[in-house]
Structure 1
Amino acid sequence: MDGCHFIHTRPVARTVGEQRVESPKLKYVQVRDHLRGLLADADPGMAVPSERELVQQFGVARMTVRQAVDALVAEGLLERSPGRGTFVAEPTLPATGIQGFTEDMRRRGLDTDSTTVLARVEKANGGIARALGLTAGDPVIHWKRVRRADGAAICIEDTYLNEVMLPGFLQAAMPASLYAVLDRRALRPTWAEDVFTAALATAEEAALLGIEAGEPVLQISRRALHRNRPIAVSRSVYVAGLHSAHVQYADL
């Protein structure tokens, strides 16, 4: 690779006396975090080691290395060039658009996964119908999930979607990111209204989040629209001690 600099890596395990001590983190998280630390001072276009070299250096499986690199590609820190290798990506401007849970957590350097509690078509009640600009009784998609970041339950996300605008949504495998699906369908929200409320966890919420009933939680109710057409309304319940909201204002 003419003209390319190369990033060198070292395994993340450390030695105490004669005993080798591994980090309690998942192996791919170790590789990912170590690579992310190296990227902080790397120039765009610098090549990163091949999967085979990373496997040898970290003593892990190729799939583990690939998972770590995939996470950094998803974050926009690395980019792959077929037939050439993987390189440090050009910096991008901070996202100013509306972000979903997956994008928000990735921006914070966390991996996400979800468990679907409920996914079905229902008849919209009066409140959901008004929020989505529908008539009571119209079909809506009801999708409820427990969302996790780096393995820890962060929130319960209860979402209603305009079924007419998302045909076939429930026939495919449930996606990791709703906003990614909306992007592909050219329906990404262009503006949203959020309402923040302090509350106490119900017994059901506590069971799903692994906390005690009555513990403080943060509720965020969102109505998301594509241009002037409502796409989704949701209510998210966050573990209060594991989430903070950052809001910026501008005098336009």
Structure 2
Amino acid sequence: MDTVNTPGARFKHEQVREYVRSLALAAEPGAHAPSERELVQRFNVARMTVRHAMDGLVAQGLLERIPGRGTFVAKPHVEMQSRLSSFTEEMKRRGRKPGSSTMQRTRRRAGPGVARAMQIEEGEPVGYWRRLRTADGVPVCICDVYFSLEHFDHLLSGAEPSSLYSWFAERDLLPTWGEDSVVAAVATAEEAEILQIEEGSAVLRVSRRAFCREVVCEVSRSTYRADQFTLWVPVLRSDPGGA
């Protein structure tokens, strides 16, 4: 079987993941996903590479594994899935008035972590936007966003948008899926001064990588005041009959 190269994916597991994602999005819920053996042959990769890709799609809720039967396109769980939303959308949903002030908007060289997340070479120029986000006038979050100058250079040269996700939506580039990681931490002296809290106060650091199709739209880290922000994470038990 011929091997496949998926445009926009630099790593083998990403090629496999995006290929299976395209099949799953076009299929009906309950349809069989490609087998690991088929994907190993199609992409000429190790079984662990295929498993890595499939695990990611299962974690995103696009696929589901049924023991003894195989892997299938998952049925949508609209009420249980968390939304890939912006700060502005979240604050409006919670009945609070969002605000934003830019602290820095410039070019930077991608460090190792940003380069890895954006799937580019370390040292490549990227856009950087730091904002203080408020709710009802109260400082809530410091948001550091990195973005590709190849795809989103107007974020630096054009007028400053009030909402990043609205800006994406106007260009048909609204993120459709992403990956968040959350870490509990304490505020540094700089963060405490900006957020108007005591140094060492509890904060939540939310790191995000968001995609529109195969394009990385956003790599960000947002530092939230723990006394002003509650993270809501819906959960779903895949095996309700288990112990």
State whether TM-score is above 0.5.
Answer: yes
Residue aligned with 1:217, SS: strand
Letter of the aligned partner of 1:104 in structure 2? E
Contact 1:97–1:190, Cα closer than 8 Å, also in 2: no
Post-superposition shift, 1:172? 2.2
User: Any idea what the Cα deviations from partners look like across 1:213-250, whole Å, max 9, x if unmatched?
Assistant: 11111111111111232111111111101100111234
Alignment map for 1:53-202 (pairs within 5 Å): 97-202=83-188
Determine whether 1:234 maps to 2:220. Answer: yes
Letter of the aligned partner of 1:129 in structure 2? A
Alignment match, 1:34: none
Gaps of 5+ in 2: 1-77, 239-243
Cα-Cα RMSD: 1.9
With structure 1 as the length reference, what TM-score do the two structures score?
0.60
Residue aligned with 1:175, SS: coil
Contact 2:127–2:153, Cα closer than 8 Å, also in 1: no
User: Any idea what the Cα deviations from partners look like across 1:61-97, whole Å, max 9, x if unmatched?
Assistant: xxxxxxxxxxxxxxxxxxxxxxxxxxxxxxxx99964
Alignment match, 2:197: 211
User: Any idea what the Cα deviations from partners look like across 1:137-168, whole Å, max 9, x if unmatched?
Assistant: 22211000110011000010011011111132
Letter of the aligned partner of 1:145 in structure 2? R
Post-superposition shift, 1:112? 1.2
Change (3 A) 1:248 1:96: closer
Residue aligned with 1:207, SS: helix
Change (3 A) 1:198 1:96: closer
Post-superposition shift, 1:189? 1.0
Letter of the aligned partner of 2:234 in structure 1? Q
With structure 2 as the length reference, what TM-score do the two structures score?
0.62
Aligned residues: percent identity?
41
Contact 2:105–2:130, Cα closer than 8 Å, also in 1: yes
Contact 1:182–1:188, Cα closer than 8 Å, also in 2: yes
Post-superposition shift, 1:122? 1.3
Post-superposition shift, 1:171? 1.9
Change (3 A) 1:164 1:214: same
Residue aligned with 2:205, SS: strand
Post-superposition shift, 1:127? 1.4
User: Any idea what the Cα deviations from partners look like across 1:15-69, whole Å, max 9, x if unmatched?
Assistant: xxxxxxxxxxxxxxxxxxxxxxxxxxxxxxxxxxxxxxxxxxxxxxxxxxxxxxx
Q: Which has the larger radius of gyration?
A: 1
